[in-house]
Amino acid sequence: MKSPLYLVLAAALTLPVATLAASPAAHDHGAIAPQKIELNAGRKWHIDAPLRQGMSAMHKAVSRTLPLVHAGKAQAADYDTFGAEVSKQVAFIVENCKLEPQADAQLHIVIGEILGGVDAAQGKEGEKARAAGVVKVAQALNTYGSHFNHSGWKAIALPH
């Protein structure tokens, strides 16, 4: 079964971001500001077919789960299924996506946010954080859509 390998790969993808976020500043002894996603000189970043496929599948998972969350009807099994599907797609992207280095660095920021949402949705931050985890993944996917050239991408409607 490949899933443990996929999870290791997904974790490895976020390690550079987590390491930077946890590193102390050189002389000011303050915290490093979180990385902020940027456009490519005012344009969206180019993507490849594996990224398109994986992100589209994550969008579908959010679109299936978010209405249950908003209605207060999501059960532990719904969150677990959601987390497993999104994790599977992140692993697929890590294994198959080949972007130019600057685009890849920007994608790492988005993937880090997605994985943080997955952890919450799977109950790793407590039962009350599960719904917020799904919303966090939706927000990360909206950020992806506004920064990567994924034709036909539709933003996910979030509550106000």
Residue 138 · residue 86 · CB < 8 Å: no
d(CA 109, CA 95) in angstroms, rounded, equals: 17
Summarize the confidence of residues 152-157 as an average pLDDT: 96
Q: What is the pLDDT of residue 159?
A: 75
Distances (CA, A) of 4 to 8, 15, 78, 88, 92: 6, 16, 21, 10, 12
Summarize the confidence of residues 136-154 as an average pLDDT: 97
The string of DSSP letters for 108-128 reads HHHHHHHHHHHHHHTTTT-GG
Summarised one tens digit per residue, pLDDT across range 60-116 is 999 999 999 999 999 999 999 999 999 999 999 999 999 999 999 999 999 999 999
Summarised one tens digit per residue, pLDDT across range 104-117 is 999 999 999 999 99
Question: Is 21 exposed, middle or buried (CB count within 10 Å of its CB: 0-12, 13-18, 19+)?
Answer: middle
Q: What is the residue-averaged pLDDT of the chain?
A: 84
Please report, to the nearest 10 degrees, the dihedral formed by the alpha carbons of residues 105, 125, 10, 86 taken in order: -100
> Does residue 15 have a pLDDT over 60?
no
Residue 158 · residue 138 · CB < 8 Å: yes
